[in-house]
Chain A
Amino acid sequence: MIRVVLPLHLRRLARVDGEITLVVDGPVTQRSVLDALEARYPMLRGTVRDHVTLKRRPLVRFFACREDLSHEPPDAPLPEAVASGAEPFLIVGAVAGG
């Protein structure tokens, strides 16, 4: 099971509380995790990555294991601790404003 933490606005949109868990078949990558997320919560499609290009939205960041993975290739394996469920995959709204 992959653990995913969503930002507040997306938790409300998906109507979930706290951390969610996803089943990912095959390699655990940003793409496979987001595919599983959007399949389970279709209302999130287009909110984390673009509907068509599937690129990460500019003010969304991906963190895990104290690392910023936002600029990693979408098919790069996520850390083993994420794949094993020991650590969550964090989807974060970038801090912006004054």
Chain B
Amino acid sequence: MTAVRVLVGTKKGAFILTADGKRNDWQVSGPHFAGWEIYHVKGSPADPNRIFASQTLGWFGQIIQRSDDGGRTWHTPGSAPEELTDPATGFPRGESNKFVYDTSPETGRPLTTHQHYDGTQRPWEFKRVWHLEPSPTDPDLVYAGVEDAALFRSTDGGRTWQELAGLRGHESGPQWMPGAGGMCLHTIVLDRQDPERMFVAISAAGSFRTEDGGRTWRPINRGLKSQFIPDPEAQVGHCVHRIAMHPSRPNVLFMQKHWDVMRSDDGGDTWYEVSGDLPSDFGFPIDVHAHEPETIYVVPIKSDSEHYPPEGKLRVYRSRTGGHEWEPLTEGLPQRDCYVNVLRDAMAVDSLDPCGIYFGTTGGQVYASANGGDSWRPIVRDLPSVLSVEVQTLP
């Protein structure tokens, strides 16, 4: 019997929603880590019982949590009693929340500065983990996208983290500038056909690709146009909100940019707009149907000044043609007086047939569709503001 586990990060804790493969009756557990901001919770495709969570709070900083039993119990990696002593140093490990920028001459770069709002240069300063991306094949390998923008990797199940400093060391690094939400690396897309190849997106620097496992990176922003920067077609400076890829087609990327829905057919070398007939091409999440690589989903938001749906109608838009032509999906979604937002990490798909689509709102609802988006229902209504939604399809 298949089952679905929906992992929800909110501003005041994490919640786990479970149902069988019919996706009708849902059980809600939580809050886990009550009172903390949970930016992201994601399971390992290589071991579905292993789940990573990013837990953060202005007072006490960053915590990484890990479950090895499907979310029933949690611990900070490296602090279990049997792990307390590091034979090399005699000190406890407990360093799963230690994210230190790599300044070593051998592997890292000098600690450079980045552009700040006021035009000054500021040194990189770690604030929080926005996104955790577990390896599809190795349960101990997981990537973390952090603010201030950088990419970290753990090869020991989250016990310790090392920066892949070539990204931050790219020559454009000093030009990167925070978006309104901070200078965050929020998107990590792994190429399942080539473990050396991955994509990241940074607000507001743009998107980058590596083909050597993260040692070197190149900006992939040609074709993006952003009117809020002096040169709308600059190499970096674009506020990319989200990138999605179907695992079977690693050269086809879909992007929800600050404004514009974009598509690339060459692994990000060039992009073209596919916003088509959307009521607004501003938004945050974008995702791809599990079985139909040309079927994509976005949630149009009125504008960057008014972060709620146009006309107070919460509508997911679906394109079955890889963009350009879009249809509103409204059945079961509020079509009046709705002024929530859907954040960039708050949409996910399961791999059942028909494909399930899930998204969470800043109003605390998590909506699900068990039929590819044709109809929706709230599976939970009154959570804290939702920051992220991920789905595990369980055998």
A residues with a Cβ closer than 8 A to B are 7-10, 12-13, 38-39, 41-48, 51-52, 57, 59-60, 93-94, 96
Residues on the B chain within 8 Å of A52, using CB: 100
Q: Mark B45-60, 1 if CB is under 8 A from A, else 0.
A: 0000000000001111
Complex-state Cα separation, A42 to B333, whole angstroms: 46
Q: Are A43 and B58 in contact (CB under 8 A)?
A: no
Q: Are B94 and A38 in contact (CB under 8 A)?
A: yes
Q: Are A9 and B84 in contact (CB under 8 A)?
A: no
Known contacts A47-B60, A51-B100: does B36 contact A9 (CB below 8 Å)?
yes
Q: For chain B residues 50-83, which have a beta carbon within 8 Å of chain A?
A: 57-63, 75-76, 78-79
From B59, B62, B94, contact of A43 by CB (8 A): B94
Main secondary structure of the interface of B (DSSP, over half): loop
Chain A nearest CB from B99 CB (Å) reads 8
Task: Check if B264 is an interface residue, CB within 8 A of chain A.
Answer: no
Interface size band for B: 20 to 34
Chain B nearest CB from A43 CB (Å) reads 4
The 5 A-B residue pairs whose C-beta atoms are closest, nearest first, are A42-B94, A42-B92, A47-B60, A43-B79, A43-B76
Complex-state Cα separation, A34 to B34, whole angstroms: 25
Known contacts A9-B35, A51-B100, A52-B100: does B78 contact A42 (CB below 8 Å)?
yes
Chain B nearest CB from A97 CB (Å) reads 10
Q: Are B95 and A51 in contact (CB under 8 A)?
A: yes
Q: Mark B35-49, 1 if CB is under 8 A from A, else 0.
A: 110000000000000
Known contacts A13-B63, A38-B92: does B57 contact A45 (CB below 8 Å)?
no
Known contacts A9-B35, A9-B36, A38-B92: does B58 contact A45 (CB below 8 Å)?
no
Complex-state Cα separation, A4 to B93, whole angstroms: 22
Q: Are B97 and A45 in contact (CB under 8 A)?
A: yes
Complex-state Cα separation, A38 to B35, whole angstroms: 22
Q: Which residue of A lies closest to B33 (CB)?
A: A12
Residues on the A chain within 8 Å of B381, using CB: none
Complex-state Cα separation, A44 to B97, whole angstroms: 9
Task: Check if B22 is an interface residue, CB within 8 A of chain A.
Answer: no
Residues on the A chain within 8 Å of B36, using CB: 9
Q: A41-B79, A45-B98, A51-B100 are in contact. List 8 more A-B contacts (CB 8 A).
A: A7-B59, A9-B59, A42-B93, A47-B61, A47-B63, A51-B95, A93-B59, A96-B58
